[in-house]
Structure formats: structure tokens, C-alpha cells
Structure 1
Amino acid sequence: MSVVFSGSQRRSLALSPLGDVADWPQSLRTTAQVVLSSPVPMLLLWGEQLTQVYNDSFAVLAGHKHPTAFTQPFHLCWPEYSTYSQPIIKAVLAGQSLSYVDQYYVLPDHQHATELWLDLTFSPVRDEQGKVAGILMIAVQISRRRTALKQTSKALRELNETLEERVAERTQALAQANQQLQHEMLERERVEDALLHAQKMEAVGQLTGGIAHDFNNMLTGIIASLDLMKRYIAAGRSDEIDRFTDAAVSSAQRAAALTHRLLVFSRRQSLDRKPLDPNVLVNSLQALFNSSKGAKIQLVIELGQDIWPVNTDTGQLESALLNLIVNARDAMPDGGTLSIKTANSVLDGRTISSLETVNSGDYVMFEVSDNGTGMNPQILAKAFDPFFTTKPVGVGTGLGLSMIYGFAQQSGGHVSLSSEVGVGTCVRVYLPRHVEETQA
């Protein structure tokens, strides 16, 4: 059911406190429909300013105040009735219904003073929340009292029934929406749990598969060498078994190195912590870096001024930096620039993006960057995963970055990684600043 107003009325309403009819609440729409469709003079006062909406029958009673009175606040339109109307308005807004019989009324007219006798009814109109939002006034001329009362009673009954139906429909719709929302939340939790479980299983499978593959290759070398040694000894050729012994020892050493890397990754490797000067360490490794980078790559070393000392395992830090140099070299097969930097850095937990929570404080940053091939977002997301590598089979173990990550975390530091395809990669290792303890 829609409310029908003329074009001028709609424009007047749009500029009033009631606003556009399309935005009205259902309770106002329904009441306005009753007012407009009733042959009995009806006046609806709505909102805090008691904005007036009335029908054609009431427009006759408004006299020369119509059409200005339409959408005008009640107190501005009828100041002459303020003493009479204020107690009534207060009572009705409090929820009371009032009736006044045989009320004397002079029709507002510039030319003629027409006297009328009216029966007036004032009723509260409630919104969807049950609060009094308006006042419905019905004016019945005494000569048509019986007919008007019947029509008014029917209109009010329809109004109340319509409001109750609307409230019931809205309540049911809200209940259904709430039930649907609860169902969607439960389904989302179930899907998230399933996804998390699948990711955990994939990570465990990748880890165990990588370990099993590498150890199988190493054990194969040891077992094959021992088997050949037995055959040669049985054949009386003991003097020829040295090469098999060396092969078995080499495979065993590779297995020990793999175990060491796994311990570093899992942060179970004991660190031989010692205070050291970062710039002195990098300078001491410059010759090793030059021999590892390749002939086509230019090495640039930028050491910060007054770099703070760190307390960490020198061998592990050297291994981490060398691993990053080798990764940068492999990312620049046609040559490029490889940069190594040191700098003091103060982190506040928002400075860098790290896999784990960043503890605020003073750190020393070791940066290794290149302008090589770079990594796409999919590869970048897996860069720290153990045994994940983009290198050919047999070239890399996929433990380099994961080992560096484990070493940094075990040292109380952090690692950040940024990369872009065609631009290059930058890895920053942050180790906590070492502060000498002074004795009192």
C-alpha cells in the first residue's frame, strides 16, 4: 500500500523535517494512507516538531491557512490555540487518548467567520518500536457524528491491525536474518578449521617428505659404500677400499650437516654467543663474498657508522650471510649488483612485516639485496618454508632461508623479505643490540 500525494505536496514534504516520502518508516506511511483515504477531516502531527499532514476534508477546516499549513509545524500554524493544545499534546505524547465533544470552532477565513461545532479525538500513533511518534486528530461535525464515528473507528482499527502486522513481519524477518547469520558464522568457522588443518598437514607432509628424500640419498651412499667395502675385503682387495670409505664419510657428513640445519630451523641448536662488531665481521668475509658471487656480479658493501655490537653465534651469522650471497648470485645469472649493508635500526613493532610478533627495541640490520629475477607473490609466501626451493633437483635443499629464519628467531631477532619480479630481492636480518652489563 503506497501513500499518494500530489507533486506540490511531495516537494513540500521533501523540504520538511519528514523528508522524502520514499524514506518514511512503515508506521508513518500506513497512518498517512489512512489520513488521505478518509472522508473525515484528519490531521496527523509527526515527529519532534509535530509536522502537519492532513487530508482534503481537513484542508476545508484549515481555511485560508491551507496550503501553507501542510508540512508546517503545528505551533507555527495555530498559535491562537497554544493554550488549548499544549496540555493535549503533552498527554497524547505520553500515550493517552483524549476526546472532546461539542467544541466551538471558527473556520479561518479572511472574508467570512463560519462557526462550527466539532467533536475532536486525539490519539497517539506508535512507530515500529512501540514508541509514540505522532498524534492523530480526527474532527467530526456533529451533524454527521454517527457516520464519522463508525468510519473513524474502522480506520483506527485498520491502522492498529496494519501496524501489528508490520511489526510481526519485521520481527520474523529479523529472526530469520539472525538465524541465517548464525548459520553462516558456524559454516565459516568450519571451513576455516578445515583449511587450517589442510595447511598443517601440507606443511608436515612437505617437511617429512623433504627430510626422508635427503636422508634416503645420504643413506644410500653410505650403505652402497659399505657394501662395496665388504666385497673388496672378501676378495682380498683391502688396499682399494679407501675411496669407498671417503664416500661413506662424505655422505655421513652431509647427513650431519642436514641435521644441523634442521636444528637451526627448529631453534634447538645451541648457539655459541659472543659479542662481535658487525662491520668487522662483514669486512673479514669480504674475500669469501668476492669468491662466491661470480665474475659477472658487482659487490657493493655499505657499512653504517657507529654500528652497535651484537651478541650472537659468529659461525651461524657467517653461514646466514654466505647463504644469502649465494641466493643473490643464483638470482642474477647474467650479472648484476649485489649489495651488503649494515645499519642501526629501532623497531617499534610496526616498522617491518615479519611472520612473528616484532619486539620493540634496538637492532642491528644486515641487508643483502640484488637486482635479479625476483619472486612473484606466490613464491614469496613460501620462501621460508622448509625444503621449498625453486632450484633444480639436487642443486638446493630448500633449507637456506628457513635456517636463517630459525637462527634469527633463536637469537631474539627477526627477518624481513621483500621481492618483486624483474626488480630484485632484499633480505634484512635484524639482531638485537648488545648492551654491556656494568658492575656497580
Structure 2
Amino acid sequence: MSSPVSIAAPAPDWTRTALGDCAAWPNCLRLTIDILLNSPLPMVLQWGEQQIMVYNDAYVELMGSPSLRAPGATVPSLPPAVWTWHPDVLAHARAGHSASYRGQDLPVWQGDACVQKPLDLYYTPVRDDDQVVRGVLCTACPAQAQARSAGHATRALNLLVVEDNADARYLVCETLRALGHEVEAAASAEEALPQLTNHQFDVLFTDVSLPGMSGVDLARQARREQPALEVLFASGYGDELTRHLEFSARALQKPYDLDVLQDALVQISRKVQAKAV
């Protein structure tokens, strides 16, 4: 029997939306919407002076409103609660600051009723090539989502993510933040080294194939400086890689899904907790 073939949804006709023809979009908007529409996490973007709102299917499912249809890309007559629950949240993000807010009660629809639901909210400024903030991306998740792991409490981790692909780097960082972790990022091993020297991380999460120094060599040097550092690789070779290393590490087979990533982080978190006892 042949395997089922997944058929990608047709691309939206952006010319019918407030964003206009995507050929005229700045790179930062194109990248952000690519990430938003392909993310399993609920995401909503507020863009431009018009405050155009773009969101994905996961956001529609979370908020439950019968009036929402992804991707939106319209100017809402009434801004949603993710932008209005606190007067300073949007201004803070538009001033260029990322921020997270845990367990905020926001209205969502369940059936025919509007109820308050605790959400974890993460706001990221979207900058253009001149570093001007053009929009704000919000990731919203149920507050209890970060504690799904077999009923065992785990501590938040401080991770350094090293990934040269900008799309992948942005998405994995937003995913990790939505799972409750603290994250810094670098596009290369050479960029990561000063961060490893100046900051204490629990986990180095690095792609194996990087331009210049490889992820493996980066991990070797990082472990010499921080012997307690946990290492998690993203690799096309899966656990084949870790069998031949002279230090302890885990590896995720690319492409990996959210559950696999979360399970690996739970195991690492328990190990870090055990060290601290």
C-alpha cells in the first residue's frame, strides 16, 4: 500500500487582502508570514500603521471565534485581546522589546460561550532591513501546555540555539519560548562562541552542519569551557552521531516534530535538576 500524500493548502490570494500583492512585501514580512502560516503554535501578527492582523489556523482554533478565518490579513474593527489586555504590551513591543507574559486570562470562545482562559503570551518585534520595527508577532499558548510531560514537573531551561537558516532559527526559538524556556540565538559557531563565554547556558542546541566551524567542534569547545553544559544536536544522522562522540550529547533526527523536541528537553531538564540537588 502506498503512503498517503499530503497536499499543501493553496497559497492565499494576498491581493484581496489589506497586505496587497506579496511581490511588493519587504523581506521581514515575507519571512514572518512564512513562519506564522507553517507553525504548529498559535501566532498572530499585527503589521504596519494600519495594524493589519494576520493569523494561522492554530490561532483560530485556540481563540475559537466563529468570525475568524485564517490568514485574516485585514484591519480588525475591534482589536483582539492579545493586543488590548494591557495598555503597555503593544507599545513595549513596538519600541523594540521582546517580552513574555505567563498565565494571563484572556477571553476565548468555547462553543457558544466566551470564557476566560489562562494563556502564555510571547511578543516579538518584527524589524525591516533598517532595523525599524514594522510589526509585532504574538505567540499565544494555553498556560498548561508547557507542563504536558507525563505529569512530571520540569524546570525551564536556558538555551543557546545555533542555526544558520534564518527561518528555522526563528521558528525553533519561538517554539522554545512558547514551551517556557529562555532562549538566545546565533547564526554560526563563530557568533555563538562569545555568547558561551559571557553567559551561562543549560543547553547548547546546535545544527551539526554550520558554515565555518561545525556544530560538533563548537560543542567540543563549549564543553571545555562549561563541562556541565548539555548538548542537543539537530542532525540528519540522528543518534548515529552521538555514538562516536567523546562527550555526552543527544541528537534529534531532522526534520523533528514538536513532541520529539519536547521529550528531549524534558529529559535534559531532569538531568539539570538532578545536578543542582
Structure 1 length as normaliser, TM-score? 0.31
Q: Which has the higher helix share?
A: 1
Higher strand share: 2
Compare relative contact order (CA 8 Å, sep 6+) and give the higher one, 1 or 2. Answer: 2
| TM-score, L = length of structure 2 | 0.47
Max radius of gyration: which structure?
A: 1
